[in-house]
A and B are shown apart, each in its own frame.
Chain A
């Protein structure tokens, strides 16, 4: 099937199998390796990307569903060499360790901040329930999201 979508601001016409998952199309067809495969069951959040601004698990999202939509991956977050405020906050707060959850965390946080520009700590904790991190204990990730929200205001 042919689908037409925008990935990180760039229009793409792609030939995909009807059962192809968005994660595989991003990683294998478009060589965007930032979204990671882990649990394959929508639990861990490592594969999170934004579709029309909403966070989805690319591991269980059919590529054809993205037809006519706009997809943002971690590779499209920075403006050239200039990091997104969330990326900067993650670096400065020490919110990155192994990095395997990082792209999903960043995009989930971006989706949250689009919904709620003034989140409380509890808001962030709640929103990140679908994003697992086994390295950091989450505190610095939450700090980073709150700091980025503060910067954006």
Chain B
């Protein structure tokens, strides 16, 4: 079809769910009430590591108002283990508690107060065991083991190659190599190396995890859950309860933020178990401290070496990364291999050796968090890149530009060629920050770049229905969690079918109704789910054209859709008229189907990424030499998105990504001492506030319509976060000469480094 100007795609239309959100009408899981619904509370381990000798729930069970009280040993009627990589996580601790805050017993009662009181009637006999709290402790010779045996693999085919090291705390190892890194480093003119640490941090989605579970009289289960991937939750529950997938329904109302914290099953297994035991609906709503005991980002230590020729050409990278995945693997093994796979960033590197280990510790399980392992490695490589620029006496922007992968160039054999223009992002970032002009004397500037693959292979399916009155229903399972996917899917369907946005309804995800979508993560929804919706809408369009061609006696190629009608050179058939002609009555509907399933490939991770996420960040910082406080005064993010389906929403998402990145850069770290998490509440865990944000924050987009998604779009939303910490640290180094290797860049760390700096002559 000939290209015509886009009516709604590419326009900054307000989000379709804005009104319900500003009026308080939007419903989240904790806003739901079912008749007879019980309220659950969880008793959690006070120890990081303990044998659980006995749990006595008798007195709790006998308390009036209590419908169910469960311990791990009670769960003989289901498979009590779950987990996407390994099924290593029991719903309630069985025999051993592996982290402080692990659920040990749970109660469902008439109200929350009764449930809380019942928890106090539960007697637990713990035998404290020596915990391993850090990577060093966990990897030490003769370290206590977090898991003694080897649990079965979870539900990911691409993790069937899980490689634990038996008898250690290493639950997965990943290697990637090309060329001969050792020899190339030996022959390089300049070799730089250093080790970098990334802290454990929590997502702090303002809505903590929540689930409402209800079994019906036929033995089918419905869950209303705050989850980013209802279909993964469904698989876990089907395995646990040995119920067909078709009899488990996971419904996702509005989500109060996700950022990865709500990927894969979290509270849902426990809510469903309690609901079965209580024989009534059960609501389980976590508090913020409980969210800190549910999931976090995998902390890391990364040692990286890079070799350059004297002319600045990068020839080799060797990287050893250890990720602390906490007490249960969750999706940690995939975080580790995914992050490590792109450890070389957006650069051409002929000789590579990457090795990574996922390591169990007795801490909150680590899982997915915006960036999925890449921020940890970008922190290392992009910091080291500036060290190399210093050694080579090169401008950091020029050195990056010289080594960027080009559009169309291979990243790894079998994977998707690079589908964006990094030099364009870098040039725009440098221009916007004023790179070539000297900053004020008390300011420093730094840049960093990133490259990330999306999950592959993956599947998204969509159904588009055109009704007799010309309105449209979109069935898709991408979860609206604030990123704007419902609006974007609405725009895509409205564009293809040439109807106003208000005529399109996107149904909330419901596994009984909306078709399969693998996950709302990995920045994939616009590119994958959006493409499925586009294909499904085009399917409807083609059916409309066929009806019109037959009834108007015009060739389909001479027809087009415009303003809710099929238009021929001299005639016009509205959608209601077309449907009435097809069905011979005022009913019936057209149903379109879209399936995006690229399948497995020879790429190193088993599938070729549907797009590369690419972005550049540039920071301008100041520092208070008296206190060590770093302030990011200006920040520019440029993301190569192919096409911004909705520039307003995309800008908001990238601004949020930058500020979330400033969190782990300057403020956030989960601190442990003596086996206890010290700061698992918002009173003491500081996330960025409004007054922590840069005075000037700009988010730009490179749009060359070169993505595989709808209208040339690529995924976005993680890219803006990833360059933040190295860009800020590089700016600080250029301002003060101080190079920090541990995040966050707290005033104390910066102050100490400034004090230790050799006095200027």
Contact = CB atoms under 8 A, between A and B. Distances in A.
A92 to B, nearest CB: 6
A125 interface: yes
A135 B482 CA distance: 7
B257 A134 contact: yes
A76 to B, nearest CB: 9
Most buried by B among A38, A73, A78: A38
B22 interface: yes
Contacts of B658: 137
A87 B256 CA distance: 18
B207 A132 contact: no
Given A39-B682, A40-B287, A137-B656, A33 B31 contact: yes
Interface residues of B, number: 57
Contact of A37 (B27, B30, B653): B30
A90 B22 contact: yes
Most buried by B among A27, A44, A78, A96: A96
Contact of A132 (B19, B482, B656, B689): B689
A140 interface: yes
Contacts of B27: 33
B3 interface: no
Contact of A142 (B18, B254, B690): B690
A133 B693 CA distance: 12
Contact of B682 (A43, A103, A133, A138): A43
Interface string A8-19: 000000000000
Given A94-B648, A128-B690, A100 B257 contact: yes
Contacts of B12: 94
A137 B28 contact: no
Contacts of B463: none
A124 B359 CA distance: 44
B15 interface: yes
A66 B693 CA distance: 35
B204 A100 contact: no
Interface residues of A, number: 52
Nearest to A73: B24
Interface of chain B, helix or strand or loop or mixed?
loop
Nearest to B695: A121
Interface in B674-695: 681-683, 687-691, 693
A117 interface: no
A134 B259 contact: yes
Most buried by A among B17, B25, B206, B288: B206
B481 to A, nearest CB: 6
Contacts of B17: 99
B18 A91 contact: yes
Given A124-B690, A129-B690, A97 B24 contact: no
A33 B207 CA distance: 13
Contact of A101 (B206, B655, B660): B206
Nearest to B658: A137
Given A73-B24, A98-B256, A140-B652, A46 B206 contact: yes
Interface string B656-679: 111110000000000000000000
B691 A106 contact: no
Contacts of B257: 97-98, 100, 134-135
A94 B14 contact: yes
Contacts of A100: 28, 205-207, 256-257
28 contacts: A32-B24, A33-B27, A33-B31, A34-B23, A34-B24, A35-B24, A36-B207, A38-B256, A46-B206, A83-B23, A90-B22, A94-B14, A97-B257, A98-B205, A99-B21, A100-B206, A100-B257, A106-B22, A128-B689, A132-B206, A133-B690, A134-B206, A136-B659, A137-B658, A137-B659, A138-B688, A140-B652, A140-B655
Interface of B: 12, 14-15, 17-28, 30-31, 203-208, 254-259, 285, 287-288, 481-484, 648-649, 651-653, 655-660, 681-683, 687-691, 693, 697
Given A44-B288, A132-B687, 6 more contacts: A38-B256, A39-B681, A44-B682, A99-B21, A137-B657, A138-B690
